[in-house]
């Protein structure tokens, strides 16, 4: 029997708005939420409706030698903290599309983002120097629709996805802390999962690229970003899974626009940490609860720190309708 763990909601949770723990680009805030894909990323989802509820928390910091821009200000010494609740209803369709399983979901986000800087310049010339300042915002974030296609051939699973940032969340370029990004972004990529249901062994890799549109409030266009997410896990019992997950993030084109006063501002970071999951029955429905955490290192032009996830996925489709295999 194909297990549910992370198969239902991972792709719909692939994005999150500005002010999150994934730092890069303008203001040190990127569109892609690193760590979104983990175990069984490319495995077809249970058919029908699934609800993914995730609590996400993160902290990151950068010393005074690292500067960022926000709303025309140059800032040094950034410390951030994020606490978000994300709810993703998604639907996996029974009718094959291009021989694979088509799925669609939309992520809604609400939570708090706080930020502290050691010093801030009103303009790059240095005019208007101010000391340390802090800000905090609790609000709804941007909206993130995601579409996926998944194929399963024996133990080999393949996936392609496309997602976007719809800038409907709270955003104020004049504030130090803001939940929304204030700009459109699109992201797409593909992934592979080796999953042997008999042995419970799993390996996954997902590669994607983000294109950021110009921020109309700040005349800043963040560069194109590449992100690679990896997972290796093993079911230790019929229901309990343990493993390791990681990611690598690299900006591959420079930031541009009149608001990009710090020049190209190319950024990168890597992260690694443990993951756990447990499958169970929620009444007559299949469900899983999972957690994973990442420690970041090798950061350039961005704060680095940690982030952690706690996710509950409940498959609300008919109990006897399982994800099928879609041959070539």
Q: Which of 49, 22, 78, 79 is CA-nearest to residue 309?
A: 22
Looking at the DSSP assignment, which residues form a beta bridge with residue 272?
A: 246, 295
Which domain does 306 fall in, by range? Answer: 26-315
DSSP secondary structure string, 132-187?
-EEEEEEEE--BEEEEEEEEEETTEEEEEEEEEEB--S---TTSS--SS-SS-EEE
Q: What value does the mean pLDDT take over residues 311-321?
A: 79
Residue 321 included in any domain: no
Highest mean pLDDT among 25-39, 239-253, 296-310: 239-253
Residue whose structure tokens are 């821009």: 69
Residue 322 included in any domain: no
Residue 328 included in any domain: no
Question: Which pair of tokens denotes residue 22?
Answer: 């994934």
DSSP secondary structure string, 36-74?
---TTTTSPPPSEEEEEEEEEEEEEE--TT-EEEETTEE
- Give the per-residue pLDDT at 19: 45
Output the domain CATH number for residue 288.
Answer: 2.40.128.130
- Give the per-residue pLDDT at 114: 94
Residue 249 included in any domain: yes
- Distance between first and last Cα of the chain: 21
Residue 104 included in any domain: yes
CB crowding 89-126: b at 16 or more within 10 Å, else e: bbbbeeeeeeebbbbebbbbbebbbbbbbeebbeeeee
Residue 151 included in any domain: yes
What are the pLDDT digits (tens) for 30-59?
789 999 999 999 999 999 999 999 999 999
Q: Is residue 40 within 8 Å of residue 204, measured between CB atoms?
A: yes
pLDDT above 70 (res 11):
no
- Give the per-residue pLDDT at 74: 66
Residue whose structure tokens are 């899983």: 288
- Give the per-residue pLDDT at 232: 98
Percent of the chain with pLDDT over 90: 65
Residue 17 included in any domain: no
- Give the per-residue pLDDT at 132: 73
- Alpha-carbon gap, residue 37 to 204, rounded angstroms: 9
What are the pLDDT digits (tens) for 170-185?
999 888 888 999 999 9
What is this structure's pTM? 0.87
- Give the per-residue pLDDT at 322: 42
pLDDT above 50 (res 321):
no
Q: How many domains does the chain have?
A: 1
Question: Which pair of tokens denotes residue 131?
Answer: 């000391």
- Alpha-carbon gap, residue 55 to 52, rounded angstroms: 10
Q: Which of 286, 305, 279, 303 is CA-nearest to residue 294?
A: 305
Residue 237 included in any domain: yes
């Amino acid at each position: 029997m194909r297990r549910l763990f992370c198969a239902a909601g991972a792709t719909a949770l692939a994005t999150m708005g500005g002010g999150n723990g994934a730092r890069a680009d303008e203001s040190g805030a990127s569109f892609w939420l690193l760590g979104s894909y983990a175990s069984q990323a490319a495995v077809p989802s249970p058919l029908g409706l699934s609800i993914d509820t995730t609590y996400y928390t993160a902290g990151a910091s950068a010393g005074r030698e690292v500067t960022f821009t926000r709303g025309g200000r140059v800032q040094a010494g950034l410390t951030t903290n994020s606490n978000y609740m994300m709810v993703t209803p998604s639907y996996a369709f029974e009718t094959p599309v291009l021989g694979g399983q088509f799925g669609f979901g939309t992520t809604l986000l609400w939570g708090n983002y706080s930020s502290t800087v050691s010093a801030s310049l009103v303009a790059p010339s240095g005019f208007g120097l101010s000391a340390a300042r802090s800000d905090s915002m609790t609000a709804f974030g941007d909206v993130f629709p995601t579409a996926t296609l998944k194929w399963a051939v024996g133990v080999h699973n393949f996936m392609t996805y496309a997602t976007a940032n719809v800038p409907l969340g709270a955003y104020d370029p004049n504030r130090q802390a803001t939940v929304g990004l204030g700009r459109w972004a699109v992201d797409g990529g593909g992934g592979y999962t080796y999953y042997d249901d008999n042995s419970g062994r799993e390996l996954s890799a997902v590669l994607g690229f983000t294109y950021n549109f110009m921020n109309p409030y700040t005349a800043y266009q963040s560069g194109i970003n590449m992100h690679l997410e990896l997972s290796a896990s093993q079911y230790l019992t019929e229901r309990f899974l343990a493993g390791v997950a990681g990611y690598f993030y690299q900006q591959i084109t420079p930031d541009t626009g009149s608001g990009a006063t710090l020049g190209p501002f190319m950024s990168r970071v890597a992260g690694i940490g443990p993951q756990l999951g447990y499958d169970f029955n929620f009444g007559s429905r299949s469900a899983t609860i999972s957690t994973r955490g990442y420690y970041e290192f090798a950061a350039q032009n961005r704060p680095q720190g940690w982030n952690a996830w706690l996710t509950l996925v409940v498959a609300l489709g008919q109990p006897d309708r399982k994800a099928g295999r879609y041959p070539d």
